[in-house]
Amino acid sequence: MTNRKIGRFEVSALGLGCMSLSHGYATPPSIDEGARVLNSALDDGYTLLDTAAMYGFGANETLLANSIMHRRDDFVLASKGGMFRDDQGQRLIDGRPQTLRTHCEASLARLNTDRIDLYYLHRWDKSVPIEDSVGEMARLVDEGKVLELGLSEVSADTLRRAHAVHPIAALQTEYSLWTRNPEIAVLDACKQMGVAFVAFSPLGRGFLAGGVADSAALEPGDMRVNMPRFSADNLAINLGLLNAIDTVAGAMSATRAQVALAWCLAQGDHIVPIPGTADAAHATENWGALDLHLRPEHLALLNQGINQSTVVGGRYTPAFQAEIDTETF
């Protein structure tokens, strides 16, 4: 198994995104099943677990606390603040220093731990200078509540501004065969600056693994219902993209998910994909990607078949796109 570096930490080259255990994809698994997934992943060898205050409005952090905190030394714990809910229960991005401190301290209590190993600004609140938000996060580091800092969904320019205030250990954003925006600037910026690039949704929110064949089958409350590339018309076209993955999977005796993850891992040794799942068997299947080494002709076939020019539909609606800072084609 190949490990990769995030700040002071050496972590498994694949991490586990924990969001789907509590949030985002309609009905989450039971608490008992979520606990089983988490413990099974640790048994597989995952040593980076990624959660956030936003996931289930605290429910995901509480799940981790009740399920695996007795194994605290077995994994690097990542969480995020700066996005939660307002007094009316609506999602709110707030990067003011006092809010970030409040979020962090609430996360520590929910997680039942004395430190968060990697703490991200979940979204940059564009009404607050990034220097002010990161400055307060740096004070949390000074106090030992947080060990390393990260940013989520920001541009290369914002990363550089933040890094000038305090070293940034990781930048997290969506990256996969069908989401190539990081290739515009942040992948190279991270490599140049010694910042780990943490790729969320490396399986295209399940699409690249063959998990979404019919938009009508998505449950109400599933975030993909409102994502343009999952609309009925767009999905019907995008399903043809899986042919390239199937060709490679057949040649390598691998699954679609393993091929998509192996592609992501091959894009740089500073990249740590964090596929999420609510199924322990899928987490184990994903782990098998670490043993899959794609040949140059396989990488070329995948890159030609699935890229920003062949995918139909955007990542987000215009309203959600306006909330993030990442570069776009």
Residue type, 252: M
In angstroms, rounded to a whole number, what is the distance separating the alpha carbons of residues 49 and 52?
A: 10
Q: Which two tokens stand for residue 265?
A: 């891992």
User: Packing angle between helix 97-111 and helix 59-68, nearest 10 degrees?
Assistant: 30
In angstroms, rounded to a whole number, what is the distance separating the alpha carbons of residues 163 and 121?
A: 13
Q: Is residue 94 part of a domain?
A: yes
Rounded mean pLDDT of the chain? 97
Task: Give residue 23's pLDDT band: very low, low, confident or very high (50, 70, 90).
Answer: very high
Task: Give me the sign of the Cα torsion angle 229, 234, 235, 237.
Answer: negative
Q: Is residue 9 part of a domain?
A: yes
C-alpha dihedral over 310, 316, 321, 323, to 10 degrees? -150
Task: Give residue 1's pLDDT band: very low, low, confident or very high (50, 70, 90).
Answer: low
What pLDDT is attached to residue 89? Answer: 84
Summarize pLDDT for 204-228 with one digit per residue, the tens. 999 999 999 999 999 999 999 999 9
Q: Which two tokens stand for residue 184?
A: 């515009």
Q: Is residue 183 part of a domain?
A: yes
Q: Which two tokens stand for residue 181?
A: 């925006």
Angle (nearest 5°) at CA 279 between 278 and 280: 125
| Residue 210 Rama label (left phi>0; alpha psi -120 to 50; beta) | left
- DSSP-derived 3-state class of residue 272: strand
Q: Is residue 138 part of a domain?
A: yes
Summarize pLDDT for 3-15 with one digit per residue, the tens. 999 999 999 999 9
Q: Which two tokens stand for residue 64?
A: 């981790």
Summarize pLDDT for 248-305 with one digit per residue, the tens. 999 999 999 999 999 999 999 999 999 999 999 999 999 999 999 999 999 999 999 9
What pLDDT is attached to residue 87? Answer: 84
Q: Is residue 305 part of a domain?
A: no
Q: Is residue 223 part of a domain?
A: no
Q: Is residue 323 part of a domain?
A: no
The catalytically annotated residue of 25, 46, 55, 175 is: 55
CA distances from 93 to 81, 103, 190, 227, 308 (A): 9, 12, 24, 20, 28
In angstroms, rounded to a whole number, what is the distance separating the alpha carbons of residues 30 and 62?
A: 13
Q: How many domains, the chain?
A: 1
Residue type, 237: I
- DSSP-derived 3-state class of residue 173: strand
In angstroms, rounded to a whole number, what is the distance separating the alpha carbons of residues 112 and 58?
A: 12
Indicate whether 168 pLDDT > 70.
Answer: yes
Task: Give residue 26's pLDDT band: very low, low, confident or very high (50, 70, 90).
Answer: confident
Strand partners, 222: 25
Summarize pLDDT for 49-108 with one digit per residue, the tens. 999 999 999 999 999 999 999 999 999 999 999 999 988 888 999 999 999 999 999 999
- DSSP-derived 3-state class of residue 271: strand
Element (H, E) at 164: helix 156-165
In the block, residue with structure tokens 């299947």? 285
Residues 6 or more apart from 38 whose CB is under 8 A from it? 16, 18, 21, 49, 63, 64, 67, 68
State which residues form the domain around 9: 3-207+267-291
Answer yes or no: 120 catalytic: no
Residue type, 139: R
Indicate whether 246 pLDDT > 70.
Answer: yes
**pTM of the model as a whole:** 0.97
What pLDDT is attached to residue 45? Answer: 97
Q: Is residue 199 part of a domain?
A: yes
| Residue 44 Rama label (left phi>0; alpha psi -120 to 50; beta) | alpha
CATH number of the domain at 275, please. 3.20.20.100
Number of Cβ within 10 Å of residue 232's Cβ equals 9
Helices marked H in 166-255: 186-193, 232-238, 242-252
